[in-house]
Amino acid sequence: MNDIIQAVAALSRGQLVAFPTETVYGLGADANNPNAVQKIFKLKGRPRHHPLIVHIADVCQLHEWAVDIPDATYSLAKTFWPGPLTLILKKASHVSDWVTGGQETIGLRIPQHPIARTLLEKFGTGIAAPSANRFGHISATTADAVLEEFGKAVNFILDGGQCSVGIESTIVDMTAAMPGILRLGAISKHEIASHLSSGVTGWQINSPRVSGSLASHYAPDTLTKMISSVTDFLNNLKEDDFPCALLIRKKPNVILPNKTIDFVIMPDDPQQYAHDLYHTLRMLDKKQYRQLVIEALPDTSMWDTVRDRLTRATALRDVMQVKSLLA
Ligand code: TXA
Ligand code: MG
C-alpha cells in the first residue's frame, strides 16, 4: 500500500508510473496533465497522433471523460468491467489532444488488476496509459520487462507479478451506429456481440489511429518469422537458419543431426498461449538466436487474437511506414 501512495504522489507531481493491469503493464501519467502525458510519447518514441487509453476506477467516472454515451456502453461495461475491454466514446471538451491524438473520441477502460484498481481509486481521476514498451516493441507483462524497456527513465514501477491475461484489451468503438471492434483482445468478438442488440462490425485492419494495427508491432529485435509447416521447415534447414528457437505446440518426432534448434513448446490453448506469448518472446529475444521461428496457429476463430499478435510480431518492419508516422 505504501508503494501505491508513493505512486499516487509521483503521478500528482506529473511523473510517470508503470503499473500492472491484467492484460499488460501500463506506462501511466495523470490524464489531466498534458505535460505529464507528453512524457509518455517521448519515452516510448510513440507518434504523437496515436491516442492513449484513459484508465478509470469506476463507471460513474465515464461522464468526466466522455459525452453522448450510448446505452449499449453500459451493457458492455456491466458485463466486462473491470476487465480487458476498452470503449471508444465521444470525448468531453476538456480532454487534451495529447490524450486523444487530436481526435474527437477517447478510449476508456476499467482494469481488473487489484494494484491498478487501488491506484486508480486512490488517485481519484483518470490515468492515461499505453502499454509499457518502446513503440512497436513487445508489450511488458512483468515489472522486470518494464525495467528492461525503460530503465530508470520511469519514475516509479509498481510490481504486480506477471499479468494474468498477457495480451492487450479488446477495443470497441461505440461512436458509430453499429459498434465496431478496432483491436482484437482478450474478449472475443463473439462475446462482445452477444451483449449488443445492434450487433458489432468486425475489426478493421490498418486503421492508422490504432498503433497495434500497424503491420509490424509487438515485435522482438531478433528476426522472427512464421512457418506453416514444421516438417517442411525441418526438412529444408540451411546453415544460416542456426542458431534458432522454434515455437511449436507439439514436439515433432524427428532427429536433427549436429544442429541446434531449441524447441519451445507453447500451450495448445489460446488463453494460455496468449498468457505466455510476450513473456516467451522477450525471454528468447535476450538470447543470441539468429531467428525465432513460430509455427502458424490453427485457422479457427478462437485463435484469432493470438494469430493477430503473431502476424504483427513476425511482419517485417516497414521502416518507411514508421518514419512517415513519426513525421
Ligand atoms: O490492455 C490494454 O489495452 C493496455 C493496458 C495498459 O490497458 N493498453 C494498451 O495501450 O494496449 P496501447 O496504447 O499500447 O494501445 C491502445 C490502443 C492504441 O492502438 C490506440 O491507438 C488505441 O488504443 N486508441 C486509444 N484511444 C483511441 C481512440 N480514441 N480511437 C481509436 N483508437 C484509440
Ligand atoms: Mg501497445
The response to whether residue 22 sits with its C-beta less than 6 Å from ligand 1 reads: no
Average of per-residue pLDDT across 271-299: 96
Distance 74 CA to ligand 2 centre (A): 25
Question: 269 is written with which cell numbers?
Answer: 490453448
> What confidence tens digit (pLDDT) does each residue in 157-200 have?
999 999 999 999 999 999 998 999 999 999 999 999 999 988 89
The pLDDT, as a whole number, for residue 240 is: 87
Query: Around 47, how many Cα atoms within 13 Å sit in the side-chain half-sphere?
Result: 17
Indicate the top mutation candidate among 86, 110, 167 to test ligand 1's pocket, ranked by most ligand atoms within 8 A of CB. Answer: 86
What's the first-to-final CA gap in the chain, in angstroms? Answer: 42
| Range with lowest mean pLDDT among 62-71, 107-116, 248-257 | 248-257
Lowest-pLDDT range of 111-120, 238-247, 262-271: 238-247
The closest residue, in CA terms, to atom 6 on ligand 1 is 26
Ligand 1 atom nearest residue 169's Cα: 1
Residue 131: per-residue pLDDT: 98
Q: What is the pLDDT of residue 214?
A: 61
* Residue owning the nearest CA to atom 22 of ligand 1: 210
Q: Which three cell numbers stand for residue 107?
A: 478510449
Give the strand pairing for 85-91 and 105-109: antiparallel
- Grid coordinates in use for 313? 510480431
Task: Read off the pLDDT band of 155 (50, 70, 90).
Answer: confident
What's the mean pLDDT when you consider all of the chain?
Answer: 91
5-12 mean pLDDT: 98
Residue 103, C-beta contacts closer than 8 angstroms, at least 6 positions apart:
51, 91, 209
What number does the ligand 1 atom closest to the CA of 213 have?
19
pLDDT of residue 211: 53
Q: By the 8 A CB rule, do 78 and 62 touch?
A: no
C-alpha cell at 61: 467516472
Would you state the pLDDT for residue 208?
43
Contact 23 CB / ligand 1 (< 6 Å):
yes
209 C-beta closer than 6 A to ligand 1: yes
CA 50 to centroid of ligand 1, rounded, Å = 8
CA of 255 to the centre of ligand 2 (A): 39
Secondary structure (H, E, C), the chain: CHHHHHHHHHHHCCCCEEECCCCCCEEEEECCCHHHHHHHHHHHCCCCCCCCEEECCCHHHHHHHEECCCHHHHHHHHHHCCCCEEEEEEECCCCCHHHHCCCCEEEEECCCCHHHHHHHHHHCCCEECCECCCCCECCCCCHHHHHHHHHHHCCEECCCCCCCCCCCCEEEECCCCCCEEEECCCCCHHHHHCCCCCCCECCCCCCCCCHHHCCCCCECCCEEEEECCHHHHHHCCCHHHCCEEEEECCCCCCCCCCCCEEEEECCCCHHHHHHHHHHHHHHHHCCCCCEEEEECCCCCHHHHHHHHHHHHHCCCCCHHHHHHHHC
Q: What per-residue confidence (pLDDT) applies to 257? A: 61
131 lines ligand 1 (CB under 6 A): yes
Angle between helices 114-123 and 2-12 (to 10 degrees): 50
How far is Cα 128 from Cα 178, in angstroms, rounded to an integer? 26
Other C-beta atoms lying within 10 Å of the C-beta of residue 283? 13
Ligand 1 centre distance from Cα of residue 183 (Å): 9
Q: Are 142 and 160 in contact (CB under 8 A)?
A: no
Q: Counting beta carbons within 10 angstroms of the beta carbon of residue 287, is it exposed (0 to 12), middle (13 to 18) or buried (19 or more)?
A: exposed
309 lines ligand 1 (CB under 6 A): no
| 44-48, 72-76, 257-261, 320-324: segment of lowest average pLDDT | 320-324
Looking at the predicted structure, is the pLDDT value of residue 78 above 60? Answer: yes
Ligand 2 centre from 171 Cα, in Å? 12
Distance 210 CA to ligand 2 centre (A): 9
Output the furthest CA–CA distance in the chain (Å, rounded).
Answer: 66
Tell me how long the chain is. Answer: 327
In this prediction, residues 271-285 reach a mean pLDDT of: 97
Best of 210, 213, 308 for a ligand 1 pocket test (most atoms within 8 Å of beta carbon)? 210
Cα of 242 to ligand 1 centre, how many Å? Answer: 36
Going by alpha carbons, the residue nearest to atom 29 of ligand 1 is 106
What is the percent of the chain where pLDDT is above 70? Answer: 91
- pLDDT-derived band at 317, boundaries 50, 70, 90: low
Report residue 116's pLDDT band, with 50, 70 and 90 as the boundaries.
very high
Nearest CA to ligand 1 atom 21: 210
Quick: pLDDT tens for 217-233. Answer: 788 999 999 999 998 99
Residue-level pLDDT at 242? 86
pLDDT value at residue 212: 57
Q: What is the pLDDT of residue 204?
A: 52
Q: What is the pLDDT of residue 206?
A: 46
Predicted local distance difference test score (pLDDT) of residue 260: 78
